Structure 1
Amino acid sequence: MKATAVPEIDGAYLFEPTPYADERGFFCRTFDADVVRSVGLDPTAFVQDSLSRSARGVVRGMHLRSGAGEAKLVRCSYGKVFDVVVDLREHSPTYLGRASFELSGAAQTTLYIPAGCAHGFQALTETADTSYRIDRPHDPAEDVTIAFDDPGLAIAWPLPVTSVSERDRRAPGLAEVLKQRES
C-alpha cells in the first residue's frame, strides 16, 4: 500500500493498495496502520465505521462537522463514485481548494479527508457502496451541509443528479455557511 499526498488539499492523502488478483478475483489490504502512521496520522484515532449504499446519480453532500470537525477515511468498496473534497479550514495553505477523485471497488483506493473539509460524492454505477472510517462519534448537532449545486463550489457532477436527501436539498450555499462560521 502506498500513500500519496493530495496537492489541492493540505493534509489529504490517497492510500492505494496493491491487490493480488487471480482467477478467483482479488485480495488487497484496505487499511494498514503502519502506512497511515508513516504520513503522520494516528491509526488508532478512528472510532467509527459506517457504510452508505447509493443508486446511480445520487449525490450525498457536501457535508462537514462544526466544532473540532471530523477526519475520515473514505473508500468506495463496491461500484464507483465521483468524490469531492473542499478545504474550508481558514488557516490552511489550501483554503477553498477543491479536489475530485474517482473511487471504485475495483481499485479500493482510500481517501483521507482532514477535519474541516467538506465532502460529498455522486454514485456513478447502479449500486455504489461507500465506506467511512471516522475519528469521532457522530453528533447530529454538529452537522453542517453546503448546497451540492452551489455556484460558489462549482462542482461539475458527472451525471444528472437523480436524488438527494431533504437536508441536502435545503442546504445553504457556501457563502452563507462561511458567514455563519465567522460569527
Structure 2
Amino acid sequence: MRIEATELVDVVVLIPEPFRDERGLFTRTFDATEFDTHLGKPGASAAFVQDSQSRSVRGVIRGMHGRGGRGEAKLVRCARGTVHDVLVDIRPDSPTFGKQQAFTLDDETFTHLYVPPGFLHGFQAITDVADVCYRIDRPHDPTEDIGVAYNDPDLAIEWPLPVTIVSPRDASAASYADLRTKLGGTG
C-alpha cells in the first residue's frame, strides 16, 4: 500500500497494490501500521469507530457535508463502481482554507481518501451503481451536521455529469458564504 499527500494539507490518498492472477485479485484495503506511521500519530487508526455504506445511482450527488464541533475524520473508498469525490478545506487556520480538490475513487484502483476533521465532502456517482464506504472516528451526531449546497456558485464545483438526484436536505443546504461567515474565514 502506498500513501501519498494531496494538494490539501493533511489529506492523504491510500493506494492499495492488488495482486492479480487468473482467479481475480487480492488486495489489502487498509493497514493500520502504515497509516499510523504515515500520519506520525501512533494509534490514529484505532480512533475509527463506525463504518457506513451508501449506494447511489448514476448522476446522484451526495454532499457537500461536514461536521461541526471537533469535526470528524473519515476514511472513504468506493467499493463498487466509480465516484467523483470532492473535498473543500473549511479549517479557517489552514493554509489551504477554501481550496478544493477532486479525486476519482473506484473499484479498480481501490484508492481511499483520508479526510481529517474540518472538510466538506461530497461525491457524484459516475457509474450506474456506486457503493461508497465511510469509516469515521466519531459516532454520527446529526446535531453537528454542516451542509453547503452542491451547486453553490462560490464553490463552483465542476461535477462531471448532469445531476440526476439530490436529497431534499442537500438541495436546500446553506451557502458557502454563510458557512465562511460562521467559521470566521476568508477563503
What is the deviation of 1:177? 1.5
What is the deviation of 1:25? 1.5
Q: Write the distance in 2 (CA, Å) between the matches of 1:58 and 1:24.
A: 33
**What is the match of residue 141 of structure 2?**
139
1:54 equivalent in alignment to 2:56: yes
Secondary structure of 2:143's counterpart equals helix
Which consecutive residues of structure 2, in runs of 5 or more, have no partner in the other structure?
A: none
Q: Write the distance in 1 (CA, Å) between the matches of 2:149 and 2:28.
A: 35
1:20 equivalent in alignment to 2:19: yes
RMSD: 0.8
Secondary structure of 1:39's counterpart equals helix
Letter in 2 for 1:36: F
Greater alpha carbon shift after TM alignment, 11-20 vs 34-43? 34-43
Secondary structure of 1:136's counterpart equals coil
Greater alpha carbon shift after TM alignment, 170-179 vs 123-132? 170-179
TM-score (norm 1): 0.97
Secondary structure of 1:167's counterpart equals helix
What is the deviation of 1:131? 0.4
TM-score (norm 2): 0.95
Q: Write the distance in 2 (CA, Å) between the matches of 1:117 and 1:79.
A: 24
Secondary structure of 2:159's counterpart equals coil
The alignment of Structure 1 onto Structure 2 pairs a total of residues equal to 181
Which consecutive residues of structure 1, in runs of 5 or more, have no partner in the other structure?
A: none
**What is the match of residue 2 of structure 2?**
2
Q: Write the distance in 1 (CA, Å) between the matches of 2:112 and 2:160.
A: 20
**What is the match of residue 126 of structure 1?**
128
1:97 alignment partner, one of 94, 99, 124: 99
Q: Write the distance in 2 (CA, Å) between the matches of 1:129 and 1:22.
A: 25
Secondary structure of 1:137's counterpart equals coil
Secondary structure of 1:35's counterpart equals helix
**Deviation string for 1:23-57 (max 9, x for gaps)?**
22211011100111112241101000000000000
Task: Give runs of ≥4 in structure 1 deviating > 2 Å.
Answer: none
**Deviation string for 1:144-173 (max 9, x for gaps)?**
100000011110100000001110000011
1:66 alignment partner, one of 68, 81, 103: 68
Structure 2 contact 90–118 (Cα < 8 Å) conserved: yes
What is the deviation of 1:180? 2.8
Secondary structure of 1:131's counterpart equals strand
1:116 equivalent in alignment to 2:121: no
